[in-house]
Structure formats: C-alpha cells, structure tokens
Structure 1
C-alpha cells in the first residue's frame, strides 16, 4: 500500500495543477481527456480481475501481474511529468502526450490494485485480524500520502524547483519532473520488494477457474454491487475531487503557495493517521457495518467548513474535521468489500476476488467522469480555463469544487448506505471469517444447516 500510493498520489494530487495551471492546457480539454481516462479506468478493471482469478502459475495468481504493473507504472508516471519542451509548446501534442501516459499510468494502477486488493480477504480471513491488517495498510497509505501528496508542493516548488509565482522562475515544472522520478523509483521498489515476500494461499491454485460471463452476470445481479458499489463510488469521487483540486484551492481560495498547500495536506493526513486507531477500535467493538454507516455522514458534514474559511489556520481546522470522517471510511470500506467477497465465495464455491473487486472498481473508477464534469462546470459557471485564464472568480470556483461537490456526493452515499445490510458478521462469533475460520486459532467452526434449510 505504501509503494502503490506514492506514484499514484503524486499523479492524482498534481496532474490537474501541472497540466492546467502550469502548462496552460485548457480546463475543458483536460476534462474531456479525463472523462476518457475514467471510462478506460472502469472498463479495464474487470478484465484485469478476470485474468488474475484464472491465472495459475508457480509464483501464484497475483504476483506476476504486480511485477508487470509496477514496471508500466514506473515508466508512465515519470513520462507524465517529464514533458519535452517541444511537446509543451504545442497544444495538440501536449494533449496527446497527456492522454497516452495518463491512460498508461491508470492501466498500471488498475492492474496492480486488482491483484493487490484481492490479497486482503485471502491472507486475512478473520474479521478482527483483517481489521487490524487493514488499519496497518491504510496507515501505510497515509504515510505515503504525506510524502506524495502533502510534501509535493513544497518539494516541487521550493526544494527541487522554484515557486510558481516567483520572479526569475524560468520553468516551474522542473521540480515536479524530478519528484516524479524519485517517487516512481521509490514506490516501485517497495511494490516489488513486498510482492516477492507475499505467500499466496496454495489452495487457490486448485480451484475451478471462474467463467467470465457467468461471473459478470452473477455480480451484476448481486444487490450489494448496486448499493455498496455506488456508496463507494460516491466516496471515491469526493476524494478524487479533493486530491485533484487542493493545490488550486490553496492558491485561489486561500491565496497561499506551495508551503501552505503542504501544511494543509500534511495536517489532514497526520490527523487521519491519528484517528485510524480510534476507528479500528470501533470496528472491533461495533463491527464493520455499523462503524461504516456512522463514518459516512461524518465525512459528508466535514467538508462543509472548507467553503467558508478564509485563511490557512481556518483551513487547517476544517481539514482536521475532514480527517476524522475520511479515516473512518478508510478504516471500514475494504472490510465491507471483503465481507461481500466472503459471501460470494460461500454462495458460489469459488474465490474470485479479482474480478469481483474489479467489477466494484468499475463504479468507483468512474469517478474520472465526476471529476471531469466538476472541472467542466468551473469553466461553465465560473469562467476558469487555466492558470493563464483563471476567470473572474477562481476563489468561488474552487470553494465549490473542494467543498460543495464532495458534500453532495457523500450525502448521496450516506442515504444509500441506510438501505444496506452487509453480509457475514456474527456478533456471537466476531472472530469468524471466511468459511467459518476463526482468527484466534484458525479452527473450523461447524455451521449447522440441516433442518434450518440454510
């Protein structure tokens, strides 16, 4: 999680700022490319998951794809921020370059996460152990976010490059280019090191290979796909807006620079790390479902103060509110998904975590369309087009982008979650996980069926 989060958070957190505000790409054009990016991001997920579930090698089902995906991610994430001068000076060439390497980076991310995400329910079948493992990996993700999201503005603008508005700054993009190389190499090195240390469940290689069309049909008719999947999509879209627009919010709404953006992002992420242990304890006490349903409305309300703050101090306080709700959903989301995977394996007798998670990812990764629509709305309603043409009121534009839109999305997700009953948790046996195994000793729990007709 630490390795995958470093290059991806640099991309998601700085791509909009880099191409639109620094290189001058029209925001509407960026939105169009990002919409295509979102569609491809959704389509390739079930394909990668299906291939992963059906793969049988002596190295396991997931490891070969993690290796291939990391190599592609290394090249694509560096190229995305290493735009040649000739390309940057041509509007058409810049769009083509952006489209090619943004899509390649996205596909690599999909390939990695389709396989990495499938390992959580496989390696940790008991919910309490799973909750602890998930808290650790989410903590690692947040640490990576401090590096690749929180520190990026100050590293790229003040350490490895020059401030955007500073006199004598000939090329404000050079810091981002250097940082992309550093983060890509670091992230991929961690991915590969961890990949070769993973021991997959050997029993999985003897299972029947899941058929594609039958699997898709069963997933699409699964009620959890259309409820939990949409809730996750709302949450993912809200966070995608924040990652993309925070540096622009700091610049236009708060009047700050790279250091201010770093301070705000680091405070939010550190706050989320601190709250993660609290939410993990609540999961052990209440269960994943109850905790998840309480975290969602908190996350929705938490974004509202960002619309009203006027300075960095106010934004930091508002950001800490965001951290509380964000860490709550972060601590429970994957546990909810793992419960659905356990239920599917019990019903159909085959473990197909890859394709199931990837099908859920179709809804979640369509957040590219939401981001594209939100960005296009800034041009339509507020006249924002680029750093060179910010329009008459970029302050209000990015207050809407970073506050109002996430609140709307998370309120929708909260309402839908009220109608969801997540399968698989028995309060009489909180350690039980997949197939009745317990987390304490790995013993089988006999399920009495017989006359109950279960």
Structure 2
C-alpha cells in the first residue's frame, strides 16, 4: 500500500496540482457510465462473502474455529483500512484526479486476489489452508475497501446537484440489484452445475475468473470516463487526525449515521434470515425463498425509477422520510403472512420501501459531505464515507445478537435443536426486529437536523483572497421537521 500511495504523489510537495480556478470545469460524466461501476464493485465481494464458508469450510475442510479467528482479524483490519484508504484518496494529487488512479490500480488487484482466493490447492490442509484463506480473504477485503472508498466518493463530486445525484444513484443501485441477483441465483448454478460439481472447487475457480474479468472491464471503463473536477483538489491536503477529530465532533455524522444504520441493520437481518423464515414461519421448502427474494428485488429495481422522480419533485429528505415509513409498514405486513402468496404481497411493500431507501439514503449522506466541505473548505469525501462505514459494521454485531436472542427467548439453538416454536422465532427475527428498527428510523428521520442541499458553488474551494461564496459556508444550514 505504501508503494502505491507514493506512486500517486501523496504527501509530496513537488506534485503537480491543478490549481483551483485555473482549469475549465470538465464535461459531466454520463450518469449511466458512473452507475455501471457498481456492477463491477459488487459482484466480486458478493461472490466472496456468499461462497467462502461453502468453499473453505464445507468443501476444503477448514476448521470453523480457525475460520472464526480469521474473520475477527478480517473485521479489525477492515475497520482500520477503510478510513486510512479514504484519507489517502483525499490527499492524492495527480493529473488524472484523486479517485481514478486508485480505481485503476484496485480493480486488477481485486480481480487477481479473488481468483487466488478460489484457487486454493486441494492438497492444502491445516495451517497451510488457514494461511491461504487468511491472506487472500484480507487482501480481497483491502482492495474492495480501496475501490468502494473511491467509487463512493465520486458521487457527490461528479454530480454536485441533488437532482443529478438522484439519477446517478438510482441507476447505480439498480446495477447493485443486478449484482445481487447474480450472486444469489447465478453463482450457485455456475459453480456447482455449469463449471463444476457440488463437491469440487473447479467451478468456483472458473466462475471467479469470469467475474474478475467482468469486474475489471467494468471498473476500468467507468474510471476512464469519470471526469473529476480539478477544483476539488485543494492545495491543502487534509491531515488524518485533525480530519478524524472534526468528523467525530460533527453531530450530523452521528445522527444521520445512526438513523441510516436502523435501515442497514434491518435489511441485514432480512438477507440473513429469509430462508429460515420461509422454512419455519411459512412452513415451506427453502427453495421458495427464491420467489420471495425475487419479488422484493424486482419491485426494488422498478421502484428506483419512481423514487428518483419523487426526489426530483419533493427532495431527498421528504422521500427519505417516506421510504422509512413504507419499509416499516412492509415488515409489519410480513409478520402476518400465512403463506407464500401473502408473504409475496407483503414483500411488495418491503421492496417499495427498500427501493426508496436505496434511492435516498446516500443522498442524505452526500448532503452531510457537502456541508462539511462548505464549512471547512476541504473535500474529504473518501475519509468521511469510510467513517460512515463504521455504522455498516454494526450489521454483523446486530445480526449476531438477534440470532442469539432467539435461543434465549424461543429456544432456537440450531437446526438440530429448533425449540418449541421456531416459526415465531423467525417472525421475530425477520419481521419484529426490522420493524422496530425502521420505525425508530422513521421517527428519527422526522426530528433530526439534516443539512439543506448545498449549492454546488458553495462547496467548491476558493482562490486565496477571494470572498467566500454565498451559501452555508461558516454555518451550514440544517433542515428540520416541517
């Protein structure tokens, strides 16, 4: 990492920096070209997270205790490298921009590490297998963090106006849903039927090569078309500790982050528990989860168009608040589902609410970033978004606690010891817990202070000696409950 950072000119006084105001503003990046990058960044990590237990534990025989230790180390490194990579990106100064060099380096490295991750020699066992798993799992995580820190930071920079952001964000969330479909449905088919068998590793290796090639082409295509603004590369490179301290002292970082976490944790519970909800709560074969998942994803994909138009007409804040309420109502309806038909009907409402959150949550976060740039005169989107990733890591803790609570309150300990009423247990896990979380989020969204939409010119750095631009520079405006 140090070598890559040095090559990008981080921290070197002799770097060539485009001076603010000396270059013409670049032409706008087409929204679809930016958005397609989400397909490239999502497919590899979804395959890795979705298949690592099956590949290493079930097929190769990795001890689950070793797996757990590696995952703890994985989580610690993930917590450290995310803000560090975001900060390095913010400090990068090259003629090609701040974000693009990292994307162009990270894409081939992630593809190569993913292929290696699924190419563990069958002869490996014991400590050799553990080391192979640990090294490539951590490298995949690091390069995924590199890509996402820079890809996410491009959204507020490439599209300063909220209406344009809404379109680009809606499109990229649509590509994320496509990646999710591939990860849920296509990957198992390719690995166990098309390129391999259920007991071999060849299918995983071949699938990883295909996915890696697709991701590489897509990310490079997106990065080469991203026209970064030289005005965002201010002369002063933000310093790490003062920047971190400024972010954690920002009350909107905590209020918006924790409110968004209510949605993120709820959806993490759904994605992790839907198969067991179908088995125990609906009393149906697990394969029926595909229909419920499919309808939610399809509705979410179609709803992105509608929600993007709502944002254009009423603003992101109004749509965000409405989406929270719709999602909470969907979980309430799902609790009372008695079969596949009624569950699918409730899933329509869940999909509509999820779609609204996909379309708006990142726009609210982008407002916080704009307000920070207007206040401090530094564009540090990479570090800020990585800091927001802290709330995303609450998902794993919350899902673990929620699953543990089923044993405490309902006696569900495992498939061999499901307790007296596993159906009620998973209605609690998949419906009640998410409903409570999204209801809290809906209330919080109504009462917390959210930055107003910052005019693009107000978030741009000024030439020395120029008067500050109009807008919320010293005291960014906040939007309260109407």
What is the TM-score normalised by the length of structure 2?
0.76
The 3-state SS of whatever aligns with 2:95 is coil
The CA distance in 1 between the partners of 2:392 and 2:105, in whole Å, is 23
1:47 aligns with 2:84: yes
The CA distance in 1 between the partners of 2:60 and 2:404, in whole Å, is 18
1:392 aligns with 2:392: no
| Alpha-carbon offset, residue 208 of structure 1 | 1.4
Q: Which residue of 1 aligns with 2:31?
A: none
| Alpha-carbon offset, residue 350 of structure 1 | 1.4
Residues 108-164 of structure 1, C-alpha deviation per residue, up to 9 Å, x if partnerless? 2211111111111111111111211211222222222222234334444554455xx
Matches within 5 A, 1:66-215: 66-87=103-124, 97-161=132-196, 171=199, 175-215=203-243
Query: Conserved in 2, the CA contact under 8 Å of 1:16 and 1:244?
Result: no
Residues 288-317 of structure 1, C-alpha deviation per residue, up to 9 Å, x if partnerless? 112111212322332345555565444433
Task: List runs of 5+ in structure 2 lacking aligned partners.
Answer: 1-37, 461-467, 478-482
1:65 aligns with 2:65: no
The CA distance in 2 between the partners of 1:27 and 1:400, in whole Å, is 28
Query: Conserved in 2, the CA contact under 8 Å of 1:39 and 1:368?
Result: no
1:355 aligns with 2:383: yes
Q: Which has the higher contact order (CA 8 A, sep 6+)?
A: 1
Query: Conserved in 2, the CA contact under 8 Å of 1:81 and 1:177?
Result: yes
The CA distance in 1 between the partners of 2:129 and 2:84, in whole Å, is 29
Moved more, 333-342 or 40-49: 40-49
The 3-state SS of whatever aligns with 2:470 is coil
The structure-2 alpha-carbon separation of the partners of 1:133 and 1:297, relative to structure 1 and needing over 3 Å to count, comes to: same
The CA distance in 2 between the partners of 1:83 and 1:402, in whole Å, is 35
Query: Conserved in 2, the CA contact under 8 Å of 1:123 and 1:201?
Result: yes
The CA distance in 2 between the partners of 1:157 and 1:415, in whole Å, is 45
Residues 27-70 of structure 1, C-alpha deviation per residue, up to 9 Å, x if partnerless? 78766654543343222211111100001122211112112322
1:435 aligns with 2:458: yes
Task: List runs of 5+ in structure 1 lacking aligned partners.
Answer: 163-168, 427-431, 438-444
Query: Conserved in 2, the CA contact under 8 Å of 1:38 and 1:368?
Result: no
The CA distance in 2 between the partners of 1:210 and 1:127, in whole Å, is 25
The CA distance in 2 between the partners of 1:186 and 1:82, in whole Å, is 18
The CA distance in 2 between the partners of 1:365 and 1:226, in whole Å, is 14
| Alpha-carbon offset, residue 360 of structure 1 | 1.3
Query: Conserved in 2, the CA contact under 8 Å of 1:135 and 1:276?
Result: yes
The CA distance in 2 between the partners of 1:25 and 1:319, in whole Å, is 37
Q: What RMSD over aligned residues (CA atoms) do the two structures have, in Å?
A: 3.6
1:291 aligns with 2:319: yes
What is the TM-score normalised by the length of structure 1?
0.80
The CA distance in 1 between the partners of 2:223 and 2:183, in whole Å, is 21
Moved more, 323-332 or 14-23: 14-23
The structure-2 alpha-carbon separation of the partners of 1:248 and 1:37, relative to structure 1 and needing over 3 Å to count, comes to: farther
| Alpha-carbon offset, residue 340 of structure 1 | 0.9
1:268 aligns with 2:296: yes
The structure-2 alpha-carbon separation of the partners of 1:308 and 1:177, relative to structure 1 and needing over 3 Å to count, comes to: farther
